[in-house]
Structure 1
Amino acid sequence: MRVFMKGWRPAVVLLFLLFIWEMVVKIADIPGWLMPAPTAILRELITGFNRFSEHLLSTIGLSIGGFIIGCSVGLLVAILLHLLPKVQEAVYPLLILSQNVPIIVLAPLLVIWFGFGILPKIIVITLVCFFPVTIAALGGFRNTPPEMKHYLLMAGASKTQMFTKLEWPNSLPSLFSGLKISATYSVMGAVISEWLGAKKGIGVYMTLASSSFRTDRVFVAIFIIMMLSLLFFGAISLCEKRLVKWRREA
């Protein structure tokens, strides 16, 4: 009930925007290949779902696999940099620079280096997922209350105990913020990676639809991508509520 009470306002705004979109297309008599109406997009989604479902399942599997690998790499990097401050000073600027390289430019190079298999696609998703997790986790580690650190040091805690008993639990809220960002990025990364030459996936579906001027199918793919991102975001938020319940109650 609480979710419904919080979510009805955005739903009303969304329906209102779709209504305006529908009216503008009808009144201005805009051709379907240029700007399809929402009803036409919905009709294409329903009638062509069997054709689209194969691409959808492929993208979901690729997104989840890349997300798990990317977030694992990001978390491991964050822990290593936190435990090795000198290494963090040397590597941190390189992490920032790694995000200045456009993925759409790097993707063709990955195909040249690793071929058309799944490896370059996983690398693309990993590159877009690991950075938010790394930065969020490092921020959580740094924001550990100093008085709590002092208390544990007075109690004789080792560096390992300091990390496992204090710094790691304290970083969970920040870490989940990075995970939620990476969850949405993983779908985008999967679609971009499918443009590299995949046989199926939402990215392939969009390419075929745009080349044949089926704009309604392009919008179907766009809306599905948005829904997948919201679902992944909601799944991470649900995990956060379960695992960081102590922070919410406090």
Structure 2
Amino acid sequence: MADVAATAPNRAGSLLRAALGPLVFALVIVVIWKAAVTVFAVPPYIMPPPEATLAAFEANFGKIGLSVALTLRNAAAGLVVAFLVAIGLAALFVNSQKATHAVLPIVIGLRTAPVLAIAPILIMVFGRGIGTAIVVVVIVSFFPIMVNAMKGFSSTRKNALELMHVLGASRVQLFLKVRFPFALPFIFAGLRSAATSAILSAMLAEWLSGAPGLGSLILDAASYRKNDLLWAAVVVSMLLAYLIFSATTLVEKRLTSWRS
């Protein structure tokens, strides 16, 4: 019990120290923002001061909150699909050279296709809703997860593989009990990049298709010259991407703590 009681303050202190850095950085950014607007006399229609942006956020809290929820839904759904597709393709490529030579060039070609160029096709096929947003998120997000997963699956320790072969493990057991756990740090490295890209790609899909979310909110604010609301939505999107990145890092530490 004494150990548990001693551990709790340590965890609270660690969380406080982890939050202090981003808060200080955000404060510095706000001070620089305010100083730049004041010193250079930047017009409000280009860059409003921080207090005007905060006022717009408070005045449109419900609208921004709904947009955040919709964008998060689209990004999360697309990221789940991207993760499953990436892990499946990485496992296939690691276990089959023929599949690598046959399918990998197609995957690379799909990834290099500009989303803006194929957006009209996606909208015609999947409609102006969550379907297009999910597909855009998958196209943008799956590749870094797949590449890192392939690297992780290929870096499994040989002695662990040999031991599983001696024990008569099947390919599925070998993948689930050895390759996948050893590849988790690599997978999370790709997932951190993909998670932040998922928010931006979901906003891009909303912008292109007109589906509700942060992307369409920013577009509407720009169209109606509501610059304070536009900047408030942009700042919220940046904070959202940072929070998702931090959450992914926290989950990684939880799931890979056994390695240390």
Calculate the TM-score normalised by the size of structure 2. Answer: 0.86
Instruction: Sort the Cα spacing of 1:68 and 1:160 in 2 relative to 1 into closer, same or farther, 3 A.
Output: closer
Structure 2 unmatched runs, 5+: 1-12
**2:8 equivalent in structure 1:** none
Q: CA RMSD in A?
A: 2.0
Deviation at 1:111, TM superposition (A): 1.4
Instruction: Sort the Cα spacing of 1:46 and 1:65 in 2 relative to 1 into closer, same or farther, 3 A.
Output: same
**Corresponding position: 1:71 with 2:80:** no
Which amino acid is 1:237 matched to?
A: T
Structure 1 unmatched runs, 5+: none
Output one character per residue of 1:17-46: Cα deviation in whole Å (capped at 9) or x when no partner: 321220221233322111111121111111
Deviation at 1:52, TM superposition (A): 2.2
Contact residue 94 and residue 153 of structure 2 kept, 8 A: yes
The runs of at least 4 aligned residues of structure 1 exceeding 3 Å deviation read: 150-161
Instruction: Sort the Cα spacing of 1:159 and 1:3 in 2 relative to 1 into closer, same or farther, 3 A.
Output: same
Deviation at 1:10, TM superposition (A): 4.2
Q: Determine the C-alpha separation between the residues in 1 that align with 2:198 and 2:29.
A: 27
**2:203 equivalent in structure 1:** 191
Contact residue 129 and residue 211 of structure 2 kept, 8 A: no
**1:107 equivalent in structure 2:** 119
Of the candidates 126, 132, 140, which is equivalent to residue 144 of structure 2?
Answer: 132
Which amino acid is 2:243 matched to?
A: L
Q: Determine the C-alpha separation between the residues in 2 that align with 1:124 and 1:130.
A: 10
Q: Determine the C-alpha separation between the residues in 1 that align with 2:116 and 2:135.
A: 13
Deviation at 1:162, TM superposition (A): 2.7
**Corresponding position: 1:175 with 2:191:** no
Of the candidates 134, 140, 159, which is equivalent to residue 147 of structure 1?
Answer: 159
1:196 alignment partner, SS class = helix
Contact residue 71 and residue 182 of structure 1 kept, 8 A: no
Aligned length: 248
Give the 5 Å matches for 1:204-219: 204-219=216-231
Calculate the TM-score normalised by the size of structure 1. Answer: 0.89
**Corresponding position: 1:31 with 2:43:** yes
Query: What is the percent sequence identity of the aligned residues?
Result: 31
Deviation at 1:154, TM superposition (A): 4.4
